[in-house]
Structure 1
């Protein structure tokens, strides 16, 4: 597609560094997060700015490997590398880190990160099912609220929480509307277009202003659709990408799919649509509503993880998918083991081609991946 509507997002992460520095100089606090389980609403209600610190680039990994094992998930190594090299301005500006017990690698990495920044750990229950799991998680949300209040000498009131919920829900609604443009065939957006806009939500200090831009961009894309503009020709294989989160810098699989003549019409991972649904209930007790929403993130770290299968089954139909690629980062055992269940769903229930990929952030396997992805797309065609 003609990419003018999305030009705003091209260097947004870099531009927002300057905005956050300005806000820090005015006394604003910054909270770094590492996962979709951390409630942005709590941070906003505390008067702070939430920023994502998940590393999605290869560059800092060699320094991280001087401390961490080489055969570890690249997301963990990249995140740690950015922290210890001082090359991430968002980490530099962070006054507090909130981290989650999603996997063993992250948990142990957080122990090392404590040497660099104050940290609060959100301990996830092993399952999202049942009253005991919810009561445990609600208590973790309450402890995070109390830590934010102590750390920043503020009171997080019910009114502040309700306002933060409305604000973040509006952002989710805007992002969902943007992502759902690709239900149309031919798809108006490439996978890189989707990623560029969805990834920006982790680095936007003014959420209301960012939401307004997303709505403007969505309107502009709709106008292009009315003129027949699309991201790929009609008949291009429509691919759903599931699995580990992808960010700018680790998008090589998306690029290879689209260079090979396919189009990634849906990003299911927690850097995509997974974390946007459902909205937080805007009625009743806000802390209860926040806890309920975030415990529904269908992550493989929770067992059983039926929510991911249900979400994938629905997305395959809604986005008229021709094939599914399941991306697992090296050494991410939870996603790798769950790939078996995803394969059964895709091949046996949906009757679609399925391609599992295990890789890292490096370019060493680009040619091998290109051969596999090209063959996958050719099979669909």
Structure 2
């Protein structure tokens, strides 16, 4: 359909358009809560009458300033997050009334101490395992503490009813996103990996969730109709790639472009930018706090030990998306994903018989030549 490229551009520009939206929301008296990670329980923020928004953290622009306070050999996501807050170059950070973070890694945990001197900061102490009653109770306690902090900070009462409404809204958004992700199961896929990432990354900056669900649902339907009418833009000969590892977006889009320049197409994003955080819905039949605790604790991030959920998820996705190869994207100095790459490689080769490659990168463009050589060789081997 002729308006599809226009919609892709809308999602691609969502971050920039969101700057105006968030200013208007502030002018209307709305409270803004900035988040960094998929472990942030957006439902609690929404139930408090506030607007959750993803903060800028995927550019090398502010890293030089961040390195005046942080070590150079630190993960670029952490340095970028802090740099944007330090320099006030992220409008979302500027307009946030409060920031929430989770102790997913030591670097973030210590960086949050500095961010807390710039903005009101709430840090949720994430258990390092999602196994057993002890971990569940610890994370439930953090949910309650965050709920109480929001109520205190904004002078509101987060009722059971408000929380149930927020859970229902977020679940409907997740379902719309899942329907969109599953376009990648089609052979050939109806959209490119770059277009898919534009929508997934742009979705994190959509403040009106009802409007977002409506737009995304229609968008997915239009793509399917266009495909069924014979408009297939991706060649069947392209190798189907699954991306796993660290979050993607912003500067790391260089990897997706290189894949597509070398006869590949990304059909699935298993990482935080994609399926990982949305594949499980919040159980609407049990106590809301228990349901949120269970859902968010089950996110299979490499910060969890053991992280069996990632293996199970990848096993299913490789089959369902008919994957030819897996590329594990690891940001420099991200120790948990770096260590876990050995077990993922072993699993892919021995259990799934699927070619695997890990790529270490940062937010600069200095390694594009090297990445191009490695990606081209990998896809040619497929």
Per the normalisation by structure 1, the TM-score is 0.98
Q: Residue 47 of structure 1 aligns with which residue?
A: 49
Q: Residue 9 of structure 1 aligns with which residue?
A: 11
Q: Residue 240 of structure 2 aligns with which residue?
A: 238
Q: Residue 376 of structure 1 aligns with which residue?
A: 378
Matches within 5 A, 1:225-304: 225-304=227-306
Q: 1:154 aligns with which of 153, 156, 159?
A: 156
Q: Do the aligned residues in 2 keep the contact of 1:6 with 1:217 (CA within 8 Å)?
A: no
Equivalent residues, number:
380
Structure 2 unaligned runs (5+)?
A: none
Matched residue of 1:80: which SS?
helix
Q: 1:316 aligns with which of 309, 315, 318?
A: 318
Q: Do the aligned residues in 1 keep the contact of 2:12 with 2:199 (CA within 8 Å)?
A: no
Please state how far the C-alpha of 1:20 moved relative to its aligned partner.
1.4
Q: Do the aligned residues in 1 keep the contact of 2:240 with 2:324 (CA within 8 Å)?
A: yes
Q: Do the aligned residues in 2 keep the contact of 1:195 with 1:248 (CA within 8 Å)?
A: no
Q: 1:177 aligns with which of 169, 175, 179?
A: 179
Please state how far the C-alpha of 1:284 moved relative to its aligned partner.
2.0
Q: Do the aligned residues in 2 keep the contact of 1:35 with 1:54 (CA within 8 Å)?
A: no
Distance 1:26 1:4 in 2: 29
Deviations 1:238-297 (A, max 9, x none): 000000001123211111101111000000001111000200011121111011100000
Deviations 1:10-33 (A, max 9, x none): 311111211111111111000011
Please state how far the C-alpha of 1:54 moved relative to its aligned partner.
4.8
Matches within 5 A, 1:205-224: 205-224=207-226
Q: 2:365 aligns with which of 358, 363, 366?
A: 363
Matched residue of 1:328: which SS?
strand
Distance 1:97 1:3 in 2: 34
Matches within 5 A, 1:134-153: 134-153=136-155
Q: Do the aligned residues in 2 keep the contact of 1:56 with 1:78 (CA within 8 Å)?
A: yes
Per the normalisation by structure 2, the TM-score is 0.97
Matched residue of 1:36: which SS?
coil
Structure 1 unaligned runs (5+)?
A: none
Q: More displaced, 47-56 or 155-164?
A: 47-56
Please state how far the C-alpha of 1:67 moved relative to its aligned partner.
1.4
Deviations 1:77-119 (A, max 9, x none): 1111111111100000100011100001101110110111001
Distance 1:282 1:61 in 2: 41
Q: Residue 26 of structure 1 aligns with which residue?
A: 28
Please state how far the C-alpha of 1:201 moved relative to its aligned partner.
2.5
Q: Residue 347 of structure 1 aligns with which residue?
A: 349
Distance 1:20 1:5 in 2: 21
Please state how far the C-alpha of 1:53 moved relative to its aligned partner.
1.5
Distance 2:178 2:231 in 1: 21
Distance 1:231 1:242 in 2: 24
Deviations 1:54-87 (A, max 9, x none): 5011111111112111111010111111111111
Matched residue of 1:92: which SS?
helix
Q: 2:71 aligns with which of 69, 72, 78?
A: 69
RMSD over aligned Cα atoms:
1.2
Q: Are the structure 2 counterparts of residues 3 and 119 from structure 1 closer, same or farther at C-alpha, using a change threshold of 3 Å?
A: same
Distance 2:232 2:45 in 1: 38
Distance 2:272 2:94 in 1: 24
